[in-house]
Chains A and B, each alone.
Chain A
Amino acid sequence: MGRVEVGESRKRKSISILRAKEVGVLLPLVVLFITLVFLAQNFLTKDNIFSVLRAVSFEGIVAIGMLIVMLTGGLDLSVASNMALTGILASIFMTNGLPTFVSIVLALVGSACVGLMNGFLINKIKLGAIIVTLGMLSVVRGLAYIVTQGMPIVDLPSNFTFLGQGLIGGLVPVPILFFVVISAICHFMLKYTVLGYHFFSVGGNETASRYSGINVERVRYFSYIICSVFAGIGGILLIARLGVAQPSIAVGYELSIIAAVIIGGASLQGGEGSVLGSVIGVLIIGVIRNGLVLMNIGGFYIQFANGMMILAAVIINRLRSLRQ
């Protein structure tokens, strides 16, 4: 019987630690880190490192949700608005006497509805993800202004602000804990569950998935709802950190979140990416911002640098797809 020819020889142990994709992303982070150790005096202090980690946690949690949407080949531009709305809803519930936990759960149900709406418009009305979530970006931000009438909500309960400001063991800020736990769960979910496998396969080839009997629409619903709930969690933690719920928080975060996910190895075309990579991507952006602040480079430059990082991310995405 004829054997089917095999172009490349069998490479059994081809997945060595050095060939892992994340290493390519980790390298710039290490270089950045070492550079800043020398350039910025206060960089390598316990306080600063934890403050960087806490600062990236809010966007980091949302980035994990964004990663899931991007794995399926989608995009969610409404996350930053969703962060604001969810945090505000939780604050309104709390200041009206509901217990903190109940308020948070109700607010997260609200954020899930945003994801459901995104999924509905994309699945059923067959609209493009970018245009749908761009519309939702404005709608949701508008809702945040409407429910607050533009006024900040103050006097949040202390068991709520603890989520953003508290320290565990007097050292580790609480948001970091959330970030780590969510990352770990999602890492496991993406690698070892059927749901995770479906996020990859829908993004890798929608038709192949459909022909294999995968309910592509359902998978997409899951991705947008998970992303929105994570945005909600990020928003609640951010407001808990600030201690004041303002409708204008997190404006523009969606772009740096997407940039972080792309820098972390995900592809805008879907089917590629990892939690580890996204975490590193978020860290790279956080470390650059922190470095600029420590070196007394003004706020205008930070905006500029943000833009550069987004462009860099898109160029990286383009180069990666060209190489294939």
Chain B
Amino acid sequence: MILLCSNNTDRDSETLMPTLIEFKNISKSFPGVQALDDVSISVERNTIHALVGENGAGKTTFIKICGGLEAKDSGDIFYKEKEVFVRNAHDAKKLGISIVHQHFPQCLKMTVAQNIFMPEYSETTLRLMNWKTINRKADVLLQNFGVDLAPEMPLKNLTIAQRQVVEICKAIAMDVDLIIMDEPTSALPLRELHSFFDIIKRLKESGMTIIYVSHKLDEIFSVADVITVLRDGKEVATVPKKDTTPSEIATIMVGRRIEEFERNTEAGKTAARAKTLLKVDGLKKGQILNNVSLDVKVGEIVGLAGLQGSGCSELLKAIFGFEQFEAGSIVLNGRKLEIGSSRAGIEAGIAYVPTDRHREGLNLIMSVGENIALAEFMKLSRMGILWKKNIESIGLKYIERLGIKTQSVWESVNYLSGGNQQKVVIGKWLATEPLLLLLDDPTRGVDVGAKAEIHKIVQSIVVEGRACIMTSSEFPELLSFCDRIVTMYKGSITGNFAAKEVTEDTIMHYITGAGETSVRG
């Protein structure tokens, strides 16, 4: 049984383990949204307190209020049993609270040490900076972590994982007691995860308290002591980890039972399966794509597995026509595709959903309807004029079909949650009625509920005689959702497996170059 503590803190437990920070009845609203609704959380000293919730549950707002980056409407914060007012990043710093942000902003042109000591030297004065001492202090800090990095190295030369370490060093360079981490692993490659968890555990051993915000339950269950679930801006449960299970937490998070993304493969195994939809032959582009060949059949969902730089994303882009290549051919439905023309790709019936939806997939200022209609402007216009009602009808169609939560067709995409934004991108491409759907990590940064919905949508599309190629940063997702897994390493295809017959370990083996035999897809 799970033990659901009420919002009011149990006074008895407080004497055993004194509370470091207590949030009482915090509320915050934005125009049209109640981001936080009477949230009370108390965090005990020297624990790792996980904060979970779907996108839009209010996690980020909560963090911003802790760090003084956003003002609360009402409620009180007690830190070390004193009431505190955190008005800006400076106040938080003085109290000993620091935040590791999700998309941690850093100065890539500056050195490691210059980044680490930015909070310490945040008062604009003519005080002298002794770079020798600062570099030495940074070195000690990095060494404590067992990290081998030169403090004078410019940040742009570092890998993402190394930058993350720098960000954590930045957080603890000051005298801090509480570190708040917002989705700290979202930028980390899979293989760096273990060393990252080691760092977190080491921080705890050194006496720090950590609020760990994430929606990745496996991570939370490997580091957290206590888990608090937020839903729709409300605190719905606070549970010690040992008293609960991931599936219980997932249920509380979405407020309903979610179906595991088990694919009903039977529907796909029809006669149509025999027909080849896409044939990629001998694609070559410098070091990025090395003689890549791949067949995709009608009704098939193919998962591309590979680490960053393996060529998975580039292969998708090449098929769509974004990427030029030197040799090879792409045949879709018996028609040879023009190389390096996305217009030709769209006309041939390919849809491409990029991984970075903010930069490549959406016009954030435009409305939901306009975004959906974007790829089809030519078809929707008559005599060169765009008819509002055409946009409205196509917008409404996909809002309904994909279950996009929005006030109207004309609402700006900016105001939608991450999962809904992703659905808009998918809707935009479905509007072109594609034969082949290319999804580059479609569920990245999307919560469990929206993830399941996206999976359902993709399945329903593929059943209608189409096919899909997707990548994912989460291999369990690929394994459970795809029919076939194709592994890539350094621009070459290294393996081709039926998803049912392969384990995560095997995939790991092939995407790291450990599997020697090169199998043609």
Q: Do A and B bind each other?
A: yes
**B375 at the binding interface (Cβ < 8 Å):** no
| Interface residues in A78-98 (C-beta closer than 8 Å to B) | none
**B424 at the binding interface (Cβ < 8 Å):** no
Complex Cα distance, B104 from A207, in Å, reads 9
Interface 1/0 per residue, A1-15 and B, CB below 8 Å: 111111110111011
Contact A200 B110 (CB under 8 A): yes
Which A residue sits closest to B196, measured CB to CB? Answer: A4
In the complex, which residues of chain A have a beta carbon less than 8 angstroms from the beta carbon of B149? 6, 10
Q: Chain A nearest CB: distance from B419 CB in Å?
A: 24
- Picked from A193, A215, A271, the residue with its CB within 8 Å of the CB of B127 is A193
Once A4-B162, A14-B150 are accepted as A-B contacts, the answer to whether A212 and B119 lie under 8 Å apart by CB is yes
Contact B99 A211 (CB under 8 A): yes
Contact A213 B88 (CB under 8 A): yes
Contact A5 B192 (CB under 8 A): yes
- Picked from B110, B124, B157, the residue with its CB within 8 Å of the CB of A214 is B124
Contact B121 A194 (CB under 8 A): yes
**A134 at the binding interface (Cβ < 8 Å):** no
Which B residue sits closest to A3, measured CB to CB? Answer: B146
Contact A198 B156 (CB under 8 A): no
Interface 1/0 per residue, B153-195 and A, CB below 8 Å: 1001111011001000010000000000000000000001011
Complex Cα distance, B104 from A324, in Å, reads 19
Once A194-B126, A195-B124, A211-B105 are accepted as A-B contacts, the answer to whether A3 and B148 lie under 8 Å apart by CB is yes
In the complex, which residues of chain B have a beta carbon less than 8 angstroms from the beta carbon of A214? 118, 122, 124
| Interface residues in B69-124 (C-beta closer than 8 Å to A) | 69, 88-90, 92-93, 99, 101, 104-110, 114-115, 118-119, 121-124
Which A residue sits closest to B106, measured CB to CB? Answer: A208
**B129 at the binding interface (Cβ < 8 Å):** yes
Complex Cα distance, B130 from A8, in Å, reads 26
Which B residue sits closest to A1, measured CB to CB? Answer: B198
In the complex, which residues of chain A have a beta carbon less than 8 angstroms from the beta carbon of B387? none
Query: How many A residues touch the partner, as a band?
Result: 35 or more
Once A3-B148, A204-B109, A222-B124 are accepted as A-B contacts, the answer to whether A213 and B90 lie under 8 Å apart by CB is yes
Contact A193 B122 (CB under 8 A): no
**A103 at the binding interface (Cβ < 8 Å):** no
In the complex, which residues of chain B have a beta carbon less than 8 angstroms from the beta carbon of A318? none
Contact A14 B153 (CB under 8 A): yes
Complex Cα distance, B111 from A272, in Å, reads 12
- Picked from B69, B108, B110, B199, the residue with its CB within 8 Å of the CB of A4 is B199
| Interface residues in A209-226 (C-beta closer than 8 Å to B) | 209-215, 218-219, 222
Complex Cα distance, B195 from A209, in Å, reads 27
Interface 1/0 per residue, B213-250 and A, CB below 8 Å: 00000000000000000000000000000000000000
Which A residue sits closest to B150, measured CB to CB? Answer: A10
In the complex, which residues of chain A have a beta carbon less than 8 angstroms from the beta carbon of B192? 4-5
Complex Cα distance, B200 from A24, in Å, reads 43
In the complex, which residues of chain A have a beta carbon less than 8 angstroms from the beta carbon of B150? 10-12, 14
Contact A271 B110 (CB under 8 A): yes
Which B residue sits closest to A7, measured CB to CB? Answer: B159
Which B residue sits closest to A270, measured CB to CB? Answer: B109
Interface 1/0 per residue, A22-46 and B, CB below 8 Å: 0000000000000000000000000
**How many inter-chain residue pairs (CB < 8 Å) link A and B?**
128
Interface 1/0 per residue, A158-202 and B, CB below 8 Å: 000000000000000000000000000000010011111110110
In the complex, which residues of chain A have a beta carbon less than 8 angstroms from the beta carbon of B153? 8, 11, 14
Once A10-B149, A195-B125 are accepted as A-B contacts, the answer to whether A213 and B89 lie under 8 Å apart by CB is yes
Which B residue sits closest to A10, measured CB to CB? Answer: B150
Contact B194 A2 (CB under 8 A): yes
Contact B126 A208 (CB under 8 A): no
**B152 at the binding interface (Cβ < 8 Å):** yes
- Picked from B119, B123, B170, B196, the residue with its CB within 8 Å of the CB of A194 is B123
In the complex, which residues of chain A have a beta carbon less than 8 angstroms from the beta carbon of B385? none
In the complex, which residues of chain B have a beta carbon less than 8 angstroms from the beta carbon of A189? 126
Complex Cα distance, B150 from A222, in Å, reads 32
Q: Chain A nearest CB: distance from B140 CB in Å?
A: 15
Q: Chain B nearest CB: distance from A270 CB in Å?
A: 9
Complex Cα distance, B93 from A189, in Å, reads 26
- Picked from B90, B105, B158, B198, the residue with its CB within 8 Å of the CB of A205 is B105
In the complex, which residues of chain B have a beta carbon less than 8 angstroms from the beta carbon of A219? 124
Q: Chain B nearest CB: distance from A295 CB in Å?
A: 39
Complex Cα distance, B104 from A14, in Å, reads 27
In the complex, which residues of chain A have a beta carbon less than 8 angstroms from the beta carbon of B109? 200, 204, 271-272
In the complex, which residues of chain B have a beta carbon less than 8 angstroms from the beta carbon of A196? 129
Which A residue sits closest to B155, measured CB to CB? Answer: A204
Once A193-B127, A211-B105, A213-B88 are accepted as A-B contacts, the answer to whether A201 and B162 lie under 8 Å apart by CB is no
Which B residue sits closest to A9, measured CB to CB? Answer: B148
Contact A197 B121 (CB under 8 A): yes
Complex Cα distance, B114 from A324, in Å, reads 19
Complex Cα distance, B128 from A193, in Å, reads 4
Q: Chain A nearest CB: distance from B144 CB in Å?
A: 11
Chain B contacts to A: CB under 8 angstroms: 67, 69, 88-90, 92-93, 99, 101, 104-110, 114-115, 118-119, 121-131, 145-150, 152-153, 156-159, 161-162, 165, 170, 192, 194-196, 198-199, 202
Of the A-B pairs whose beta carbons lie under 8 Å apart in the complex, a sample of 20, sorted by A's number, is: A3-B148, A4-B192, A7-B158, A8-B158, A10-B148, A14-B150, A14-B152, A15-B152, A194-B124, A194-B126, A197-B121, A201-B110, A201-B114, A205-B108, A207-B105, A208-B118, A209-B118, A212-B119, A215-B124, A271-B110
> Given A11-B153, A213-B88, A213-B119, 12 more contacts at CB 8 Å?
A1-B146, A2-B194, A4-B165, A7-B159, A10-B149, A193-B128, A194-B123, A201-B114, A211-B89, A213-B89, A213-B122, A324-B156
What 10 pairs between A and B have smallest CB-CB spacing? A204-B107, A213-B122, A208-B105, A207-B105, A212-B118, A2-B195, A213-B89, A213-B90, A212-B119, A271-B109
